[in-house]
Amino acid sequence: MTTERAFAACAPGLEPLLAGELAALGLRARATPGGAELEGEDAVALACLGSRLADAVSLRLYEGPERGLDAARAEARRRYGPGARPVARVRGGLATLSLDAAGAPLYKRGWRQRVGAAPLRESVAAALLRFGGYDPARPLLDPMCGSGTLPIEAALLAAGRPPGAGRAFAFERWPGTDARRVAAIRARLTAGRRPPPAVIQASDRNAGALRLAQKNAAAAGVAEAIRFARIDAAQAAPPPGPGLCAVNPPFGVRIDEGAAEAWKALAALLPRLAGWTLAVVAPDRGFERLLPARQAAVLPFVDGGLACKLLRYQL
Ligand SMILES: C[S@@+](CC[C@H](N)C(=O)[O-])C[C@H]1O[C@@H](n2cnc3c(N)ncnc32)[C@H](O)[C@@H]1O
């Protein structure tokens, strides 16, 4: 396979985290509005199989003046068949023609049983873990786990299981894709499989949410890797640390009840997390003023049209 150029998309604001993840996969990645431009051998396969932060990946077929688009479309039909549906974009006189390589949203990992009240998108959960500097050798705690997205993403990462390992992607059906080469990339990315080395603990005060999280974890094959407990965050007992507390308190927009109370419960947990890192995904509504901690970093982003931020604290 020759060098490929591709584009990986993410929620606006998360681009630097996505570019960092793709660079760690061995690709040349440059953050650009809405995602990252990629270049490298097997860029499409590596991004589809290995990226937890990307929502979509497309192969760049053409980049140049707008007048070149028709010829690029004809070449795409010749190469990928009449059914190929490349997408053209023109911005500031520069045109691109790209072909969706994944076939389905990448954040749909395949384990979600039923959508909970306000589940976090898997790719945003992965972004929070990266932002929080998640180290699988250290414990992880999510004291408001809802349907379990954060601990499940953490467990899959800690277990060395790439997000695309068990999925089939559109690019695999393209003429010219070398199935053996893709199989070798899958094998390489899954070579580090192991049981997660440290405790991953997830709790919620809601019994229904917890049941759903347990079902999701079982479907993802990581039920054994996560300790679940039904408990209010204010009373949660963290495992011996320090580690990362990653949490997505109620947004107060989609589920309005008790958002401030949830943040107060989180505040009550903080004295038991001395030395830990706290990473929070939150709406841009200032609830963090309820936390008795000094913010170390903030990354604003947009989730489904809603202004949000990732927050990090060193406790
Ligand atoms: C936005 S949801 C979390 C969604 C989750 N990240 C997911 O992907 O499904 C917030 C969760 O916080 C829980 N919660 C609210 N207040 C809590 C408290 N004081 N203690 C523990 N859990 C609480 C709710 O039951 C809800 O499941």
Per-residue pLDDT tens over the stretch 102-117: 999 999 998 888 765 6
What is the dotted CATH code of the domain comprising 122-159+194-314?
3.40.50.150
User: CB burial class (10 A; 0-12, 13-18, 19+) of residue 179?
Assistant: exposed
Ligand 1 atom 26: residue of nearest CA: 146
Residue 233: CB within 6 Å of ligand 1?
A: yes
Q: Tell me the three-class secondary structure of the chain, residue by residue.
A: CCEEEEEEECCCCCHHHHHHHHHHCCCEEEEECCEEEEEEECHHHHHHHHCCCCCEEEEEEEEEEHHHHHHHHHHHHHHHCCCCCCEEEEECCEEEEEEECCCCCCCCCCCCCCCCCCCCCHHHHHHHHHHCCCCCCCCEEECCCCCCHHHHHHHHHHCCCCCCCCCCCHHHHCCCCCHHHHHHHHHHHHCCCCCCCCCEEEEECCHHHHHHHHHHHHHHCCHHHEEEEECCHHHCCCCCCCCEEEECCCCCCCCCCCHHHHHHHHHHHHHHHCCCEEEEEEECCCHHHHCCCCEEEEEEEEECCEEEEEEEEEC
Which pLDDT band holds residue 72 (cuts at 50, 70, 90)?
very high
How many angstroms separate the alpha carbon of residue 33 from the centre of ligand 1?
31
Percent of the chain with pLDDT over 90: 85
Q: Is the pLDDT of residue 95 over 80?
A: yes
* Over residues 195-215, mean pLDDT: 96
Residue 266: CB within 6 Å of ligand 1?
A: no
Residue 262: CB within 6 Å of ligand 1?
A: yes
Domain extent listing, the chain: 3-100, 122-159+194-314
In the CATH hierarchy, which top-level class contains the domain 3-100?
Answer: alpha beta
pLDDT digits (tens, 9 = 90+) for 41-56: 999 999 999 999 999 9
> Is 122-159+194-314 the same fold as 3-100?
no
Supply the pTM of this predicted model. Answer: 0.95
Residue 150: CB within 6 Å of ligand 1?
A: yes
Substitution site in 140, 144, 145 for ligand 1 pocket (most atoms within 8 Å of beta carbon): 144
pLDDT digits (tens, 9 = 90+) for 221-279: 999 999 999 999 999 999 998 999 999 999 776 555 588 899 999 999 999 999 999 99
Q: How far is Cα of residue 233 from the mean position of the Cα atoms in its chain?
A: 24
Residue 118: CB within 6 Å of ligand 1?
A: yes
